[in-house]
């Protein structure tokens, strides 16, 4: 007796990835959602034009009165923020909602000649912009050929002379014998290594000593004399400087304070020598003006100013 053939199971093919994707996409709910998104994208420009423009609303407007800066010292003009806005050309369209507002404010302050550095710009609401800055500090007045004085900071950067009165000039050391004119704009370097070195020296001498008085005032100093340059490519480290006292005597200081020359005395040693000599002898009690050389390693040397040749340029 013959066996009946075994029943064969039908094999069904599983849907491919492409088929699954089509089945997933072409469902009513997903088709409706896709259509809604497409229409939203298509008609959004027209809708956006109908929405209120928040950037132009008065409550988001930024003016100088909304900017709070680091408390400025007395030598910085009180209208600094107004100056910054005017220089940058900011108008009524400046808004707190502008995503680039912080960058705009930062650049405007950073390029102002009274600003040495910028720490941060922070926005807040109600409308305020907080700006933390480091201010430049005037350390000397440069006397130029033909008359006139230019204020500089400790780096020899030019400051706005319109922010100083004639009475202010007498409050700062006077740098004399400068034969150059400023090569940079306000807030930029003078461009003369002699001015740079003299600015460094002035910054040191206008600091306070242990008694709380500036070295400049305590020692009765009056001027800093820039050296006679022998070449236009002279560097600061090659130049040496003199200090003039109120009685007409001179102190041979030597190289600028930032020098790394191996044969130069340190700034504290030079200040100590000047203070000790001034305490014992004074700088202007002699019958004739003299020259005090504080540079030698073995001690100070004194000679009459009339007998001292003017050869202090570079060594």
- DSSP for 135-191 reads E--EEEEEE-TTS-EEEEETT-BB--GGG--HHHHTTSPEEE-------S-TTSB-S
What's the order of all strands across the beta sheet hosting 115-124? 67-69, 128-135, 115-124
Q: Are 238 and 258 in contact (CB under 8 A)?
A: no
Confidence (pLDDT) at 40: 62
* Inter-helix orientation angle 101-110/80-88, to 10°: 110
User: pLDDT for 295-310, tens place per residue?
Assistant: 999 889 988 877 666 5
Rounded Cα distance between 253 and 271, Å, is: 9
Confidence (pLDDT) at 177: 94
User: pLDDT for 12-25, tens place per residue?
Assistant: 556 676 666 556 55
Confidence (pLDDT) at 195: 95
Confidence (pLDDT) at 246: 87
Q: How many helices (H) and strands (E) does the chain have?
A: 8, 11
The answer to whether the bond into 126 is cis (omega within 30° of 0) is yes
Sketch out the chain's domains with CATH numbers. Answer: 56-135 (3.10.20), 138-307 (3.40.50)
Residue range 143-166: mean pLDDT, rounded: 93
* Closest C-alpha among 165, 109, 110, 111 to residue 138: 165
Q: Given the DSSP bridges, would you call strands 174-176 and 138-143 parallel, antiparallel or unpaired?
A: parallel
Contacts of 219 by beta carbon, 8 Å cutoff, 6+ apart: 245, 274, 275, 278, 283
User: pLDDT for 50-83, tens place per residue?
Assistant: 444 544 557 778 999 999 999 999 999 999 999 9
Rounded Cα distance between 16 and 22, Å, is: 10
Beta-bridge partners for 214? 208
Rounded Cα distance between 189 and 157, Å, is: 4
Confidence (pLDDT) at 314: 45
Confidence (pLDDT) at 23: 60
Confidence (pLDDT) at 223: 96
Cα 260–265–266 angle (5° rounding)? 70
Tokens, residue 78: 């009180």
Q: Are 159 and 151 in contact (CB under 8 A)?
A: yes
Average pLDDT, the chain: 84
Q: Is the pLDDT of residue 160 over 70?
A: yes
Q: Are 252 and 293 in contact (CB under 8 A)?
A: yes
User: pLDDT for 229-268, tens place per residue?
Assistant: 766 667 888 899 999 998 889 999 999 999 988 889 999 9
Confidence (pLDDT) at 228: 80
User: pLDDT for 169-219, tens place per residue?
Assistant: 989 999 999 999 998 899 999 999 999 999 999 999 999 999 899 999 999
Q: Is the pLDDT of residue 45 over 80?
A: no
Confidence (pLDDT) at 315: 46
Confidence (pLDDT) at 52: 47
């Amino acid at each position: 007796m013959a066996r009946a053939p075994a029943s064969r199971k039908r094999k069904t093919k599983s849907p491919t990835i492409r088929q699954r994707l089509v089945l997933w996409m072409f469902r009513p709910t997903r088709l409706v959602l896709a259509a809604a998104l497409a229409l939203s994208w298509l008609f959004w420009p027209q809708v956006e034009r109908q929405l209120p423009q928040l950037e132009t609303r008065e409550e988001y407007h930024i003016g100088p009165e909304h900017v709070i800066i680091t408390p400025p010292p007395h030598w910085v003009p009180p209208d600094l923020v107004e100056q910054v806005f005017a220089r940058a050309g900011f108008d009524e369209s400046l808004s707190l909602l502008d995503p680039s507002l912080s960058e705009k404010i930062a650049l405007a302050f950073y390029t102002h000649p009274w600003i040495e550095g910028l720490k941060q710009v922070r926005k807040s609401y109600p409308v305020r912009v907080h700006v933390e800055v480091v201010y430049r500090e005037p350390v000397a007045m440069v006397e130029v050929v033909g008359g006139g004085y230019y204020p500089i900071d400790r780096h020899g950067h030019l400051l706005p002379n319109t922010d100083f009165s004639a009475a202010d000039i007498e409050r700062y050391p006077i740098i004399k014998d400068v034969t150059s004119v400023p090569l940079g704009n306000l807030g930029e370097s003078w461009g003369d290594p002699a001015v740079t070195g003299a600015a460094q020296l002035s910054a040191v001498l206008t600091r306070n000593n242990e008694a709380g008085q500036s070295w400049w005032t305590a020692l009765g100093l009056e001027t800093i004399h820039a050296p006679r340059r022998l070449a236009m490519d002279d560097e600061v480290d090659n130049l040496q400087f003199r200090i003039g006292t109120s009685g007409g005597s001179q102190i041979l200081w030597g190289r600028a304070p930032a020098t790394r020359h191996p044969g130069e005395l340190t700034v504290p040693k030079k200040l100590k020598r000047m203070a000790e000599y001034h305490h014992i002898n004074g700088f202007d009690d002699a019958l004739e003006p003299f020259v005090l050389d504080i540079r030698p390693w073995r001690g100070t040397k004194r000679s009459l100013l009339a007998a001292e040749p003017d050869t202090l340029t570079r060594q």
